[in-house]
Chain A
Amino acid sequence: MLDALQRLGATALGVAERMGRGHLFLLHVLGGFPALLPRFGMVVKQMYSVGVLSLVIIAVSGLFVGMVLGLQGYNTLVDFGATESLGVMVALSLVRELGPVVAGLLFAGRAGSALTAEIGLMKATEQLSAMEMMAVDPLHRVVAPRFLAGILSMPLLAAIFSALGVIGGYFVAVGLLGVDDGAFWSQMQAKVDLHEDVFNGVIKSVVFGFVVTWIAVFEGYDTVPTSEGVSRATTNTVVHGSLAVLGLDFVLTALMFGK
């Protein structure tokens, strides 16, 4: 009994300690952001590996999610004779929820894991240590550009996801199921609000990008420098990153749309 309590306490302490380290790490990395401006090429290079290389999976997933939304939405709406609203349903679902959330989950799996593994391996092969000894702060030189690239890439990826989702929904609804072309678009145009829906979705995606990238770079930097440690850190990134996206989505939705 006492043993179990002791272990619980030790675990809680460990978690709290790691959270503290994570936040100090964040502060230190953010301190490196101003120095990135004159060397923005470093960030662009990272945006390529974080963002551009994630494009394929984001685009394909977006297309298919939109197509499924079109099919399922049609089956429900057809009973009420409201199939013209299919465009609104698809667009709102994507822009408000599925775009940021599913893109966030995919981002954690594709880009987050890659970031963790890359930084973890740099640590394991002493590259980070070597930089420190060359008087180059690895948190500023290695982590900060990747972090910023993640924050900037994620909203773009979510937007691409949503846009392709709408196109996928359009193919299914108009092309396959015979929903009226004009109604699909005009209803969407009328009912989707730029501020209420689109901006809130963008805010969500920025938050998810920030949190997932933070988790990814911290797990990489904090990894136990062995092959086992790197593999565990990579798993942690995907698991914690995905959970953070889902949990934060609820909080943000409650704040934005909860009446």
Chain B
Amino acid sequence: MSQTDKPTAEPLVRIRDLVYSRGERRIFDGIDIDIQRGKLTAIMGPSGTGKTTLLRLIGGQLRPDSGTVWVDGESVPQLNYRQLYELRKRMGMLFQNGALLTDLNVFDNVAFPLREHTRLNEALIRDLVLMKLQAVGLRGARDLMPSELSGGMARRVALARAIALDPMMIMYDEPFTGQDPISMGVLVTLLRTLTDALGLTSVMVSHDVQESLSIADYVYVISEGRVVEDGTPDTLRASTSPWVQQFLQGLSDGPVPFHFPAADYAEDLLGKTVESSR
């Protein structure tokens, strides 16, 4: 790891030698990741590299085959049911499509964690919910049902819900995917301001390169189960790795070839490979 400016504070999330396989496929093959407190860390990589899986490993929804995941000094895979649920009260997660509860309206969705975990009276819950909704700019949408929201609004409501219990950390799963430029801009600003204003630790999984680089404090690029490169956005842009450059610039051909591995084109057309494979 090429961390020269190592901060003195212990990282909130510390992942070491993490190995995780699904079926025959090895998704992570020994990765090390540190998430610093109060910073916005982006984890980037091509689709299908298990970025979402990584968040689920941090949240304890999946167990690693080997390696350690430490969150705020606790080893997540070794926690029992009760400890895990206690830890999760201090984490928020924003799912790709928001994952709002479809039978509740916006207000009740944001109030849901408060009602489940606290004994606050309704008047106080109302104030808290309106404050959270105000923070994401949707105080006026409190009576709408999730089906009446646009994708970007649903994510903002989910964000308000994720910060309802004032967690220490929020994990964002592909927050920008499928957003129009305006709601993308809104989300980008929100992520950054919430991280700064609330002193949150944010972990963002994304493959939207420009947006991620513009707001992240630190970036990990993972591919094929390994951390390919990590550093601040500026060091990453200056990276000499051809793979990282292809990923950052979105080139169609490079270390990741345009063509799926196949037999020679000419031979294939002439039908020779078909015969030889028989």
Chain A residues near B (Cβ < 8 Å) = 122, 125-127, 129-137, 141
Contact = CB atoms under 8 A, between A and B. Distances in A.
B117 A125 contact: no
Given A127-B101, A130-B99, A135 B93 contact: no
Contacts of A136: 112-113, 116-117
Given A125-B102, A127-B102, A129-B61, A134 B116 contact: yes
Interface stretch (B18-26, B81-89, B137-145, B186-194): B81-89
Contacts of A126: 95-97, 99
B45 interface: no
Q: Is the interface of A mostly helix, strand, loop or mixed?
A: helix
B92 interface: yes
Contacts of B102: 122, 125, 127
Name the 6 nearest CB pairs between A and B, nearest first.
A130-B99, A135-B88, A126-B99, A133-B93, A135-B89, A135-B85
Interface of B: 59, 61, 85-86, 88-89, 91-93, 95-97, 99-102, 112-113, 116-117, 158, 161, 165
Contacts of A133: 59, 61, 88, 91-93
Given A134-B88, A135-B88, A129 B117 contact: no
A134 B97 contact: no
B99 A129 contact: yes
Contacts of B89: 135
A150 B113 CA distance: 26
A136 B93 CA distance: 13
A99 to B, nearest CB: 32
A221 to B, nearest CB: 14
Contacts of A129: 61, 95, 99
B116 A127 contact: no
Nearest to B117: A135
